[in-house]
Amino acid sequence: MATSHPVYLEDLAVGDIFRSAEHALDTEQIFDFARQFDPQPFHLDPQAARDSLFKGLAASGWHTAAITMKLLVASLPLSGGIIGAGVELQWPRPTRADDRLHVVSTIRQIVPSRSKPDRGIITVECHTLNQDGDICQQMVTQIVILRRPG
Amino acid sequence: MATSHPVYLEDLAVGDIFRSAEHALDTEQIFDFARQFDPQPFHLDPQAARDSLFKGLAASGWHTAAITMKLLVASLPLSGGIIGAGVELQWPRPTRADDRLHVVSTIRQIVPSRSKPDRGIITVECHTLNQDGDICQQMVTQIVILRRPG
């Protein structure tokens, strides 16, 4: 789906797909994030990274997750915003400094709330892919979504 | 456990607990992170946040996750570093601008690899708590850990 209007629960169907724009990573962004939040050698030092399990400089998985969120905010225009209730994450391969990332989100489940008539929960599967189509992050998340008022 | 030495698989027992130092959040940090990675009104605008599901300014969940990682890197000195293979996350309550966060990590499972004799996987449960002991984030993660060489 391509839409810039707020999307309510009633607007969604299981299987709907949202595709984000692209984010171009670089070494400086990887260092910046790692210095603040994940200061480990394989995110900060290309030499040390070569000898690590990553076999080369890799972005923090939390950096990949944060970029994914940035791309989601712009590509998944949910009424009420994107407020995750729970998340499962996997990083099948490292995100590299020359990667250009985009996110493909698929609506997997839509459950209206029984106790709160103004909202529901959707399950969304988000794949964060690089320019070669490799999956750098798999995420399944439950998001609160508002119903159309009235 | 309190140790600054690298910890190998053999050094750990199910039930071991690691407690981090404290990170003091503030409004500027919340804005900074949100502008880069989660530009939604309830993370950027206290007025808009009051009318949201959060009922007040809240840090991005990914910000809480990133701070958690920073605290883990300094408090869980695993051999080979902290490389998560998979993560489950929940945010039971919002993280607020005046919160001081710390992380309590409990070793839940230790599984030596069958195919790779130099390593194993541990399951760690990490609770990110504020100064009142409220849980802002629950995380269960599988982490690759090296065995003691030789």
- Rounded mean pLDDT, A2-18: 88
* pLDDT tens digits along B24-40: 999 999 999 999 999 99
CA B133 to chain A, closest CA, distance in angstroms equals 20
**A86–B86 C-beta distance less than 8 A:** no
**Cβ under 8 Å to B: A residues 101-130:** none
* pLDDT tens digits along A66-115: 999 999 999 999 988 999 889 999 999 999 999 999 999 999 999 999 99
Categorize the per-residue pLDDT at B53 as very low, low, confident or very high, splitting at 50, 70 and 90: confident
* pLDDT tens digits along B101-124: 999 999 999 999 999 999 999 999
Residues of B within 8 A of A84 (CB-CB) are 61, 91
CATH numbers and ranges of domains, chain A: 9-146 (3.10.129.10)
Residue among A37, A41, A82 minimizing CB distance to B67: A37
Question: How far apart, in whole angstroms, are the C-alpha atoms of residue B41 and residue A4?
Answer: 16
**A144–B40 C-beta distance less than 8 A:** no
Residue A3 has pLDDT above 70, yes or no: no
Per residue in B38-74, is it b (16+ CB within 10 Å) or e — as a string?
bbbbbbbeeeebeebebeebbbbbbbbbbbbbbbbbe
A4-8, A63-67, B77-81: least confident range: A4-8
- The ipTM is 0.94
pLDDT of residue A119: 93
**Cβ under 8 Å to A: B residues 16-75:** 33, 36-42, 52-54, 60-62, 65-67, 69-70, 73
Categorize the per-residue pLDDT at B1 as very low, low, confident or very high, splitting at 50, 70 and 90: low
pLDDT of residue A80: 84
Within chain A, residue ranges assigned H as helices are 27-37, 41-44, 46-50, 61-75
Question: How far apart, in whole angstroms, are the C-alpha atoms of residue A48 and residue A93?
Answer: 18
Q: To the nearest whole number, what is the mean pLDDT of chain A?
A: 95
Would you state the structure tokens that stand for residue B100, as one six-digit string? 């001081």
pLDDT of residue A42: 95
* pLDDT tens digits along B55-107: 999 999 999 999 999 999 999 999 889 998 899 999 999 999 999 999 999 99
pLDDT of residue A5: 77
pTM score, whole prediction? 0.95
Q: Collapse the DSSP code of A103 into the 3-class scheme (helix H, G, I; strand E, B; otherwise coil) and give the result.
A: strand
* Structural contact between residues A45 and A51, judged by C-beta atoms closer than 8 angstroms: no
* Structural contact between residues B33 and B66, judged by C-beta atoms closer than 8 angstroms: yes
pLDDT of residue B80: 84
